[in-house]
Structure 1
Amino acid sequence: MGQARWVVVVPVKRLRAAKSRLRGALPGVPHEELALALAADTVGAALACPAVAEVLVVTADPQVAAAVGAAGARVVPDRPDSGLNAALRHGVDVAVTDGDDPAGGGCGTWVAALTADLPALRPAELAAALHAVGTGPAGVRRFVSDAPGTGTTLLAAPPGVPLDPRFGVDSAAAHLTSGAVPLPGGWPSLRRDVDTAADLADAARLGLGPATGALTGVVPAGPGRPD
C-alpha cells in the first residue's frame, strides 16, 4: 500500500446562515464576509497540506463556491436544506465514486471531514492528524475533538470504512458512541474552531490565516501559516 493521500470534505453553509453565534463579533464587518474568511482560510490550509490530494467543498452558496474554487478546491453543489451531516455524506459519495481513485496512490480513497471554521489551521498539524489515522489500526474511524472537548473538527476514515458523520451538539460524544476513536495529539490550530468572539480571539493568538487576519487587523502569518 502506498502512502495515504486524503480527500478532505469541507461543508460550508450559505453565508447568511453560517456561524450565527459569531454575528457581530467584528463591528463594521459584514457577517457574511467573516464567515467566508473563516472558510477560505480553512480550505487554504487544507490545500497546503502535503497529505491532502484534493479538497472538496460542499456548498450551495455561490460566493463560497467562487472563492474556494479559485483557490483550487473542487466544489460540489449542496442539496437544498440537507443539513451538515447530509452534506458530508453527499461529498463523501462524490469523493469515493467519481473517478477511479480520487485520492491517488492506488490504495483506495481516504476521506476526512473538516469543519469550515478553523482560521488558524496549520497544514502541518492537519498532516500529523491524518498521518496518525493512516498509520493507525486498520478499519478504524478517528476524530479530533475541538478545544473544549465537546465538538469535533476532524473525522477521518480509511478506504472501505463509512465516514458516518455525527456532527452537531456534543458531536465528540456522538462520534465516540458510534465507534470512532479520538486522536490524542495536541494540534491547537486543528482544535480551535470558531463559534464565538472569544474563540476568534483565541484563534488570533495562534495566528490567523490571510483572509480572517485581514478582517480582524491581525497581521497573518501568510499562506500555510508556518509552524
Structure 2
Amino acid sequence: MDACLDLVVPMKRLDRAKSRLRGAVPGGSGRHVELALALLLDTVTAARAADGVRSVLVVCEDERVPVALRGTGVDVVDERGLPGLNEALAFGARLLGEDGHVGALQADLPALRPVELAAAIAQAGGARAFCPDKEGTGTTLLLAGIGEALDPRFGPGSAAAHAGTGAVAVGVGTPGLRCDVDTAEDLEAACQLGVGDRTAALVCASAQSSPG
C-alpha cells in the first residue's frame, strides 16, 4: 500500500490529560505525566509503523511533548489557545493540507498494532471512515475522504456523530485500535491485549514496586 495518509494526534497539556487515570500508577503527579506520555509514545510509534501512513503530526499545548517525541520521526506543533479537541484536530489537518488524505487518531491507544491501523486504512479505501471505540459510542480513528476536510466530531456520542457525516465504520475487528484508555479499568484491558514498550515498562515497574 502506498503511504499517503497523514495523521493528526491531539494531546492536552500533560497536567490535565487523562484525569480519570490519576492514581493508576502510584507516585503522584509526576508519574501521571509519565503515563500520559507513555500512552502517547506507544500510540504514535505504532502509527508511524503502519502501512499506508506517511506522517504523524502531534498537536499539543505542552513544551514537554516535543522533547519526549525527539527521535521518533513524529512531527509536533505546540499551539496554545485552541478551544478544544476538534479545533486542535482541524488546526492540524489544515497544517497537513486537506487536499491530501488526512485522519485523526486518539493519543491513548497503547495496545495499537501497526497491522490493525493498516487494516482499517485499507478497509476505508480512501473514503470517509471511522473506527468506534470498544464501547461502540466513541471514536478512536477518523479518516477523511481523499481530498476532503477532516470535519471532526469528537465528544460524547462521536461514533454516531461521525456516522451522521457519512463516515463508514472500519476496524471493528481490531481490539488494539478500539482500546482507548481513559480509566484504570481501560488500562488493565489494554495490558491484557499487550501494550507498547513504554506503557509496559511504566505499568509493570509500578506493579512490582507496589506492596503486597
| Structure-2-length-normalised TM-score | 0.90
Deviation at 1:126, TM superposition (A): 0.3
Q: Does 1:143 align with 2:144?
A: no
> For residues 188 and 8 of structure 2, what CA distance do their matches in structure 1 show?
26
Q: Secondary structure at the match of 2:27?
A: coil
Please, which of 110, 118, 122 is the counterpart of residue 101 of structure 2?
A: 110
Q: How does 1:56-205 map to 2 (within 5 A)?
A: 56-96=57-97, 109-134=100-125, 140-183=127-170, 185-205=172-192
Corresponding residue of 2:56: 55
CA deviation string 1:63-88 (max 9, x = no partner):
11111232110112223142110000
The alignment's C-alpha RMSD in Å is 1.7
The worse-fitting range, judged by mean Cα deviation, of 80-89 and 119-128 is 80-89
Deviation at 1:158, TM superposition (A): 2.5
Q: Secondary structure at the match of 1:89?
A: helix
Corresponding residue of 1:212: 199
Corresponding residue of 1:32: 33
Query: What code does the residue aligned with 2:122 have?
Result: H
Q: Secondary structure at the match of 1:16?
A: coil
Q: Does 1:13 align with 2:12?
A: yes
> For residues 114 and 78 of structure 1, what CA distance do their matches in structure 2 show?
18
> For residues 172 and 78 of structure 1, what CA distance do their matches in structure 2 show?
27
> For residues 182 and 70 of structure 2, what CA distance do their matches in structure 1 show?
24
Unaligned ranges ≥5, structure 2: 206-212
> For residues 47 and 170 of structure 2, what CA distance do their matches in structure 1 show?
18
Contact kept in structure 2, 1:4 and 1:110, CA below 8 Å: no
The worse-fitting range, judged by mean Cα deviation, of 75-84 and 55-64 is 75-84
Unaligned ranges ≥5, structure 1: 98-107, 219-227
> For residues 89 and 69 of structure 1, what CA distance do their matches in structure 2 show?
24
Contact kept in structure 2, 1:8 and 1:52, CA below 8 Å: yes
How many percent identity over aligned positions? Answer: 54
Query: What code does the residue aligned with 1:116 have?
Result: A
Query: What code does the residue aligned with 1:24 have?
Result: G
Contact kept in structure 2, 1:57 and 1:68, CA below 8 Å: no
Detail structure 1 runs of 4+ shifted over 3 Å in the superposition: none
Q: Secondary structure at the match of 1:112?
A: strand
Q: Secondary structure at the match of 1:155?
A: strand
The worse-fitting range, judged by mean Cα deviation, of 34-43 and 174-183 is 174-183
> For residues 20 and 157 of structure 2, what CA distance do their matches in structure 1 show?
16
CA deviation string 1:149-208 (max 9, x = no partner):
011000001322111001111111111122222125300000000000000000001111
Residues 194 and 42 of structure 1: is their aligned pair in 2 closer, same or farther, counting only changes over 3 Å?
Answer: same
| Structure-1-length-normalised TM-score | 0.84
Contact kept in structure 1, 2:137 and 2:159, CA below 8 Å: yes
Query: What code does the residue aligned with 1:134 have?
Result: G
